[in-house]
Amino acid sequence: MDIRNQNLEPDCFYHIYNRGVNGDKVFQENDNYKFFMSQFLKYLSQVCDLYAYCLMPNHFHFVIKIKSQKELTELFEEKNKNSKNKGLHSIESLASKQLSKFISSYTQAYNKVFDRHGPLFESPFKRKKIDSEQYLRNLIIYVHQNPMDIKKDFKSYKFSSYIAVLSSLKTNLKRREVIEYFDDLENFVFCHDNVIDFKF
């Protein structure tokens, strides 16, 4: 089945990830990372909750949970008060459509700033449904440990959610829920101290 026809389902966790075309950089400077996250919140905060993320120079990872059917229905009805559209404009494709808008908005802004044309990311975006709590925990660790691939200390890496989980500052991350999946903060840190060989 074509991945583009696989809608993101309500109340389900997903690993959303993608990389630049030909492995090229998608973030050139700090402002790019910040703008990417601001666009994520603008387009996706209404359709999903954020559990983990890591932005790398040439790719990104998000661990998200799609909102409930009730929440999506309310949002869809608000956006389409007088419409009965199906297909790409149906409620079933709402989350996927918002994700595509997010990627498109960042690409357009990036292309304008760096005077380039065409797609920035590989298409279609990659997504994997998470089917167990064990997989979810391992995925969160894997996402947070990503900076090790470029010889960076993941515990101080600025463009990941690891620091946000440990912090008490306001965040859009589902911090409390993430910690609960590891039982407590101490175990969250302990689990991250062990490098895992994780295949997704």
pLDDT higher than 50, residue 18: yes
Residue 143 lies in a domain: yes
For the segment 132-152, the average pLDDT, to the nearest whole number, is 96
Q: Which candidate, 194, 172, 182, places its Cα nearest to that of 45? A: 172
Give pLDDT, residue 1.
36
Residue 121 lies in a domain: yes
**Residue 121 CB burial class (10 angstroms; 0-12, 13-18, ≥19):** buried
Closest by Cα among 22, 62, 102 to 110: 102
For 88-132, what is each residue's pLDDT tens digit?
Answer: 467 888 999 999 999 999 999 999 999 999 999 998 889 999 999
Q: Which tokens is 135 given?
A: 């997989």
| CATH assignment at residue 87 | 3.30.70.1290
Q: Give me the domain span that covers residue 139.
A: 3-192
Is residue 81 situated within a structural domain?
Answer: yes
The pTM for the full model equals: 0.91
Q: 23 vs 52, 56, 93, 95, 135, CA distance in Å?
A: 22, 11, 28, 26, 26
Residue 199: inside a domain = no
Task: Give the whole-angstrom CA distance, residue 144 versus residue 155.
Answer: 8
Are the beta carbons of 39 and 62 closer than 8 angstroms? no
Q: How many domains does the chain have?
A: 1
pLDDT score at 119: 96
Tell me the sheet residues that pair with 129.
14
- Percentage of the residues of the chain whose pLDDT score is greater than 90: 82
Computed over every residue of the chain, the mean pLDDT equals 92
Q: Which of 8-12, 54-58, 88-92, 173-177 has the lowest mean pLDDT?
A: 88-92
Q: Report which DSSP code applies to 68.
A: P
Inside any domain, residue 198: no
Q: Is residue 99 part of a domain?
A: yes
